[in-house]
Amino acid sequence: AQRVTQPEKLLSVFKGAPVELKCNYSYSGSPELFWYVQYSRQRLQLLLRHISRESIKGFTADLNKGETSFHLKKPFAQEEDSAMYYCALSSGGSNYKLTFGKGTLLTVNP
Amino acid sequence: GEEVAQTPKHLVRGEGQKAKLYCAPIKGHSYVFWYQQVLKNEFKFLISFQNENVFDETGMPKERFSAKCLPNSPCSLEIQATKLEDSAVYFCASSQSIQGSNYGYTFGSGTRLTVV
């Protein structure tokens, strides 16, 4: 069975501070990991995929298979980063379901 | 279009009534997924389609829930005899038919179902 754990329900930082949203997963095979973001009153949007190793809006995430983690990081948080962040795992291609974590609500204070 | 369109945005039903939700995936996307989110908690997978065919229905409460994706029509999720615990936001998502890696989904804005 696959599982995604986001240990922090809430995370609050000040503008300009580094931020790290934690994500751990449980899966026996080779997973594909994602971060999704939901800004206030907007739909869920794809932020990052681990396979593309990209940086979006200053965020990065590295898949650590040894620690089964995919933490999301940003060196300098901005107020507009305030949102709900969901980590998700897929066991296969584009037709496979995603398993989501329960989400972390990030608040960036001025 | 480039958006997954879900209708209606809000739906209120009395306990025991039927509820039907619709989802138009992005044109060209072969895969459609339905998720249920209760009280802003985790997303519970319900069912997925590969074109008109059910691909994975392991999350569907089979007694009262059904879903279809017919050609040239929006996909639908129907709940017969709704219960209070069905109150949730139902999200639809679609993805492209690409071999190999999962490129992630595009989500709709959801339908908020309230059962009273």
What are the pLDDT digits (tens) for B30-50?
A: 899 999 998 777 889 999 999
Residue B4 has pLDDT above 90, yes or no: yes
Distance CA A66, CA A47 (A): 23
Contacts of B105 in chain A (CB under 8 A): 46, 98
Residue B99: pLDDT band by 50, 70, 90 thresholds? low
How much of chain B exceeds pLDDT 70, in percent?
93
Q: Is B28 on the interface with A (CB under 8 A)?
A: no
Distance CA B113, CA B96 (A): 27
Please enumerate in sequence order all residues whose Cβ is within 8 A of that of A88, keeping only pairs 6 or more positions apart, or say none: A4, A33, A34, A35, A36, A98, A99, A100, A101
Q: Note the pLDDT of residue B102.
A: 64
Q: Supply φ then ψ for residue A81, to 5 degrees.
A: -80, -10
At A29-60, the pLDDT tens digits run 888 899 999 998 888 999 998 877 778 889 99
Q: Which of B102, B104, B108 sits opposite A43 (nearest CB)?
A: B108
Residue B1 has pLDDT above 60, yes or no: no
Beta-strand relationship, B111-115 and B10-13: parallel
Q: Least CA distance to A48: which residue of chain B?
A: B104
A34–B98 C-beta distance less than 8 A:
no
CA distance A77 to chain B (A): 24
Is residue A76 classed exposed, middle or buried when 0-12, 13-18 and 19+ CB atoms within 10 A define those classes?
A: exposed
Q: Note the pLDDT of residue B100.
A: 55
Give the mutation candidate from B43, B95, B106, B109 for the A interface (greatest A CB count, under 10 A).
B43
A102–B100 C-beta distance less than 8 A:
no
Q: Is B81 on the interface with A (CB under 8 A)?
A: no
Asked if residue B61 has a cis previous peptide bond (ω within 30° of 0), the answer is no
At B65-98, the pLDDT tens digits run 999 999 889 999 999 999 999 999 999 999 886 6
Q: Note the pLDDT of residue A108.
A: 97
